[in-house]
Copies of this chain bind each other. A is one copy, B any other.
Amino acid sequence: MAGPAQAGHQRARAPPDRPRPADDLVSYEEARLAFRNHGFHLETLDRPITPLGSHFLLIHFDVPELRAEDYAIKIGGHVREPLSLRLDELTARPTVRQPTILECAGVGRAFLHPRPIYVPWFNEPMGVYEYTGTPLRSVLEQAGLREGATEVVFTGWDEGVDLGVTHAFERALPLDEAMKDGVILAWEANGQPLLPAHGFPLRLIVPTWYGMASVKWLRSITVIDHTYQGVQQKQVYRFQTSSSDLGRPIRKKAVRAAMKPPGIPDLISRERFVSRGRTTIHGMAWSGNGSITKVEVSIDDRRSWRPATLEAPVSPYAWTPWRFSWDANRPGEHMLSCRATDSAGNRQPRNPVWNLQGMAQNGAERVPVRVR
């Protein structure tokens, strides 16, 4: 392993057919956001539950410092009986434990051109923790929804400036979505209190929506009788085809399959090295619009597809494991890919679909591998 000292790491310039952002460069601001907003560790994709600390994080402003013993959440607005619930009152309520997938709406943004400036996610903003919490519906029912209630607003303790507006992070759900099974107020992930950066002491979990709906560090829940107009709902998190398009709101997670990168990595490029022979490729697939009915794998850069074998979903709210046996008998470079189809008939597109904010991009992922 010894040798003369080399000139250090050189830029690993991949051939032009490699999956990469169209302009191949990100800005100072984006790189800083990439450090703050932790990526999922793709090598854990064969584990049903993501290990603590390997789940993605999207922190819009700062992680607030909150103490469990002081904590209480207010439920008010268009209700008959406003409530304030301490953490010990919440944990005394009916409790569920549910593995749930969260995914950032900015997934795949880096592959768009031009690329909207925000967190430049590739394919790593997701994860499945097993959450412990209490159904939101019973809390809302206890407060008593008044006639005309239409939406429920969730306000976090995190505050900052976006698009020139100072605000606490805040999102709303339509009432029917807020009342659904699986929507919970969670205080634990993987059997222990939420990590501070992941929402301690209490966050919302909305299984089918992209992550921005699952508001962290909950301060209050407010039932309203009108349409919510906050920055993070009416301006950000919209699928806009141009700057003059008001766009439609981003809501449910688009169908997606992700692959555990096989073999071992190069430190800089993260290209994978696989030993010649038969190898099993593992991955996960999920959708906010139904169950996973099919996953296909391509070993020829999306020219042909073969079915993967599906396992049972980890939970109704989590992901579905899949595997594919690959006979890696030809040394050299290969481009692997995977795509999923859900029970509503949605299938991932072959290529990224551009939109102004770079939201909900679910083009089939491409994983370069070198067989040796």
Give chain A's interface residues, CB within 8 Å of chain B. Answer: 1-12, 14, 20-21, 24-39, 41, 43-44, 47, 51-54, 57, 59-63, 65, 110, 116-118, 120-122, 124, 159-163, 165-167, 192, 195-198, 200, 229-231, 234-236, 238, 240, 243, 245-247, 264-270, 273, 356-357
Contacts and interface: CB of A to CB of B under 8 A. Distances in A.
Top 3 A-B residue pairs of the complex, sorted by shortest distance between their CB atoms:
A35-B39, A2-B229, A7-B243
Interface of A is mostly: loop
B29 A270 contact: yes
The number of times this chain is found in the oligomer is 2
A120 B47 contact: no
Chain B CB within 10 Å, residue with most, of A59, A65, A121, A197 = A197
Contact of A357 (B8, B60, B163): B8
Contacts of A36: 39, 41, 124, 270
23 contacts: A2-B229, A3-B235, A5-B245, A8-B357, A24-B27, A26-B26, A30-B31, A31-B31, A31-B110, A33-B270, A34-B35, A35-B39, A35-B122, A35-B124, A43-B62, A43-B63, A44-B65, A51-B197, A54-B195, A60-B267, A62-B265, A159-B264, A161-B273
A56 B1 CA distance: 29
